[in-house]
Amino acid sequence: MQALADQGAATADQVSCVAKAATTVDPQLQPDQVEDAGTPVLPLVRALRAAVGDPETAAVVHRGLTSQDVLDTALMLLARAALSAANANLDQLGDRLAALADAHRMSVMAGRTLTQYAVPVTFGLRAAQWLVGVLEARAGLVAVNERLPVQCGGAGGTLALVGELVPDPVRAATVFAADLGLQWPGLPWHTQRSPMTRLGDALAETAQALGVIAEDVLVLGRPEIGELRERTGAGRGASSTMPQKQNPILSVLIRSAAIQAPAHVAQLHLCAGQSVDERAPGSWHAEWPALRRLLKLVVTATAQAAELVAGLEVDASTMRARAEESAAELLSERGGDVTDPSSYVGSAEVFVDVALQRWKAR
């Protein structure tokens, strides 16, 4: 409404009256009403108009916009909040990974490929690789966050009704975007869903970066391996029946998130590719749960990963002992008479430094 008022299509009084009314509307809608309209927008508009009371002012509520403008924009605002939370979590996580990579740059351990002993590596390198995943994820989230667009096109993506209300409808869209701290993408995107899928891609990339950490902690934390341990205690990881049990529950939940995320991003791409007409029947609607679930998974899993790494117990002496025990296998590629696995870790430390510098320079 601010955007309409900016060009004289609503008065300041009307704007403040609606704003006040909005605080009194119960956002919890009856499912029946939502089903009737197919979206929550119409029942909300009705409730808001009723709360406003004055018919003239009520008529300015939801004037020129379509349900998809409201819903797409709301999802972008939701995404902004989620991305901000996820990024803060990734910053904590990355700092801790950087510290781990630095501290363990000399901690030799057995490298494993296809589950079997390969050549020696260092735990610092492993942590540096985790950090690279976080770096890429963070860069992706930041890039989409900067471009999150407002949706503003009216019933058919032409801004026709807005154009009846104000002289410059595109300016109104720009003001609308600025008011909300979103971008005006130059034209509506009712059926060009790249903003949705790019957001989904970045979220899926984040989930996968966390998944790798969880997979490694789960393997290296098996009792027979014992090179890492998820900190338990304070209630984390207890079993409902076995008193001795300390489950690596954060890793378990992060792994679960990494397993779930890909299906949701596929859903977004699928819906995007079926955006027929000026508004798609069903393929638009199927985006909502996919995006909401992705946002929730990623905010939660980034927080869990930050906690996981903060409390991660690294048993460097077990790592070293195992590498030395299995030195014959770990060094067979090299041949010769070398017997110390730590003498055959190649450029591991160079790679640690590459990752650390990138993190610092992010």
Instruction: Tell me which residues are annotated as active site.
Output: 239, 279
Residue closer to a second copy, measured from CB, 16 or 201: 201
DSSP assignment of 215-234? HHHHHHTSTTT-SEE---BT
CB 324 → a second copy: shortest distance, Å?
Answer: 14
- Please compute, for residue 360, the number of CA atoms within 13 A of its CA located in the half-sphere on the CB side: 9
Q: What is the biggest distance separating any 2 CA atoms in the chain, rounded to whole angstroms?
A: 91
Among 48, 253, 292, 342, binds a second copy (CB under 8 A): 253
Among 19, 81, 276, 310, binds a second copy (CB under 8 A): 276
Stretch that binds a second copy, among 17-25, 81-89, 194-202, 309-317 (CB under 8 A): 194-202
Note whether 30 binds a second copy by CB under 8 A. Answer: no
Burial 161-195 (b: 16+ CB within 10 A, else e): ebeebbeebeebbbbbbeebebbbbeebbbbebeb
Note whether 102 binds a second copy by CB under 8 A. Answer: no
Residue closer to a second copy, measured from CB, 57 or 153: 153
- Please compute, for residue 178, the number of CA atoms within 13 A of its CA located in the half-sphere on the CB side: 9
Among 270, 292, 324, 342, binds a second copy (CB under 8 A): 270
What residues between 65 and 84 interact with a second copy by CB under 8 A? Answer: 65-67, 70
What DSSP character marks residue 316? H
Residue closer to a second copy, measured from CB, 96 or 255: 255
Note whether 8 binds a second copy by CB under 8 A. Answer: no
Note whether 186 binds a second copy by CB under 8 A. Answer: yes
> Is 62 within 8 Å of 70 (Cβ atoms)?
yes
Strand partners of residue 236: 233
CB 7 → a second copy: shortest distance, Å?
Answer: 14
Note whether 311 binds a second copy by CB under 8 A. Answer: no
> Is 310 within 8 Å of 298 (Cβ atoms)?
no
CB 103 → a second copy: shortest distance, Å?
Answer: 18
Note whether 38 binds a second copy by CB under 8 A. Answer: yes
Instruction: Map residue 121 onto helix, strand or coil.
Output: strand
Residue closer to a second copy, measured from CB, 12 or 328: 328
Structure tokens at 268: 């977004």
Q: Which secondary-structure segment (H or E) carries 252?
A: helix 249-272
Among 86, 261, 291, 314, binds a second copy (CB under 8 A): 261
CB 204 → a second copy: shortest distance, Å?
Answer: 5
Among 3, 271, 295, 356, binds a second copy (CB under 8 A): 271
The residue written with tokens 């110390």 in the block is 340
